[in-house]
């Protein structure tokens, strides 16, 4: 009996040591993440409450409190840029999820053509944004392929200024961003559809449900947790989008496609007002951190439900 207790105690100590060793393995990763994220964020926050320009970027910084934030919010253009950002993010999120869901349902079969089309979409998603944006800038130009085809089909008389008219520019760039995020959402949702039991699908077919009813009452409820996670990720993607705006319109015409991330870039690296650029970046970081918190909560709830 004593030998059994001794063995059990030794096993418990060994198990505790193994758990402790597992935690030790995470120390280098935690240290690296802290070094690469926490310190830059601290410097960003410090810069946002300081007076930093091109002359004193490497010197001492004078603390100015919330003056940079007040100056940005009081700017007459800030309201328009904030509205642009919300409209842009709304379009990217809604159509990115809706069309991604449609694409996932359309390719949710074992046909080789579906696999080929999905692979082609993933190739589009994997293209660098600079390349993707440059191609779409050519396609949407005044003499671009889309306008030429519309004119050849006698749908329009004059070229549509997709990127040069304030009425069209923001929507055009937002649609291109949707085009880039749809393949990712479709791929994730198609993987979520694979978790649906074949018995449930066969039972629904026996009951005579239509394809639309199967999507509505079977696929949609089963993929709801995944859709929530994708909604948050797509929101973050839309909010931090910069590459397409930079390549296609450079924030123009006027302020038509100027969003908060692009405004931060202009303030910091064009006007060299680093403190104001840092303030805008910090506001963006706070917003995305809130979305990351929602993302972690949704993932945790999904794990608990499983």
Burial class (CB in 10 A: 0-12, 13-18, 19+), 146: middle
Within-domain flag for 141: yes
Within-domain flag for 13: no
Residues 193-203 have pLDDT tens digits of 888 887 887 78
Helix (H/G/I), strand (E/B), else coil: 254: coil
Residues 96-144 have pLDDT tens digits of 999 999 988 888 776 666 777 777 777 888 888 889 999 999 999 989 9
Within-domain flag for 174: yes
Tell me what pLDDT residue 22 has: 64
Tell me what pLDDT residue 177 has: 94
Calculate the average pLDDT of the chain.
Answer: 84
The whole-angstrom separation of Cα 158 and Cα 163 is: 14
Residues 6+ apart with CB under 8 A from 33: none
CATH code at position 129: 1.10.3720.10
Neighbours of 169 (CB within 10 A): 24
Within-domain flag for 35: no
- Helix (H) / strand (E) containing 51: strand 50-51
Across 57-72, average pLDDT: 91
Radius of gyration from C-alpha coordinates of the chain: 26
Within-domain flag for 285: no
272 phi/psi in degrees, rounded to 5 = 60, 30
Tell me what pLDDT residue 249 has: 95
Tell me what pLDDT residue 285 has: 84
Quote helix, strand, coil % in the chain, to nearest 5: 75, 0, 25
Within-domain flag for 246: yes
Residues 184-194 have pLDDT tens digits of 999 889 888 88
Within-domain flag for 164: yes
The whole-angstrom separation of Cα 21 and Cα 3 is: 27
51 phi/psi in degrees, rounded to 5 = -100, 100
Q: Where does the pLDDT of residue 59 fall: very low under 50, low under 70, confident under 90, or very high at 90 and above?
A: confident
The pTM is what?
0.84
Tell me what pLDDT residue 13 has: 44
Q: How many residues does the chain have?
A: 306
Across 73-92, average pLDDT: 93
Within-domain flag for 298: no
* Greatest alpha-carbon span in the chain: 95
Residue numbers of the domain that contains 193? 78-257
Q: Is the pLDDT of residue 2 over 60?
A: no
| Residues facing residue 215 across a β-bridge | none
Give first-to-last CA distance, the chain, whole Å: 40
Tell me what pLDDT residue 4 has: 44
DSSP 208: T
The whole-angstrom separation of Cα 218 and Cα 197 is: 10
Q: Which two tokens stand for residue 273?
A: 């007002």
With CA atoms as reference, report the closest residue to 121 among 204, 28, 189, 219.
Answer: 189
Tell me what pLDDT residue 304 has: 67
Neighbours of 206 (CB within 10 A): 8
The whole-angstrom separation of Cα 269 and Cα 271 is: 6
Tell me what pLDDT residue 287 has: 82
Q: Work out how many domains the chain is built from and give that number.
A: 1
Tell me what pLDDT residue 15 has: 52
The whole-angstrom separation of Cα 11 and Cα 250 is: 64
């Amino acid at each position: 009996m004593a030998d059994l207790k001794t063995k059990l105690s030794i096993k418990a100590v060994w198990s505790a040591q193994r758990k402790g060793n597992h935690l030790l393995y995470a120390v280098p990763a935690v240290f690296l993440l802290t070094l690469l994220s926490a310190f830059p964020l601290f410097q960003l926050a410090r810069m946002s409450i300081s007076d930093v320009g091109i002359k004193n970027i490497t010197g001492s910084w004078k603390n100015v409190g919330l003056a940079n934030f007040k100056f940005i919010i009081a700017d007459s253009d800030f309201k328009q840029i904030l509205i642009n950002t919300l409209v842009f993010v709304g379009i990217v999120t809604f159509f990115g999820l809706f069309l991604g869901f449609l694409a996932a349902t359309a390719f949710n079969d074992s046909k080789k053509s579906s696999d080929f089309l999905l692979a082609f979409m993933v190739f589009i998603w994997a293209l660098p944004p600079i390349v993707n944006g440059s191609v779409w800038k050519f396609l949407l130009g005044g003499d671009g392929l889309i306008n030429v085809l519309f004119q050849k089909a006698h749908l329009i008389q004059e070229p549509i200024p997709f990127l040069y008219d304030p009425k069209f520019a923001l929507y055009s760039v937002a649609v291109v961003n949707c085009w880039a995020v749809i393949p990712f959402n479709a791929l994730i949702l198609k993987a979520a559809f694979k978790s649906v039991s074949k018995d449930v699908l066969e039972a629904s077919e026996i009951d005579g449900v239509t394809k639309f009813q199967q999507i509505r009452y079977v696929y949609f409820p089963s993929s709801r947790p995944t859709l929530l996670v994708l909604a948050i990720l797509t929101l973050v993607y839309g909010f931090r989008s910069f590459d397409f705006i930079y390549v296609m319109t450079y924030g123009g015409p006027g302020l038509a496609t100027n969003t908060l991330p692009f405004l931060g870039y202009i303030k910091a690296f064009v006007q060299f007002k680093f403190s104001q650029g840092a303030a805008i970046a910090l506001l963006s970081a706070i917003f995305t951190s809130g979305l990351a918190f929602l993302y972690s909560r949704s993932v945790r709830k999904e794990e608990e439900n499983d």
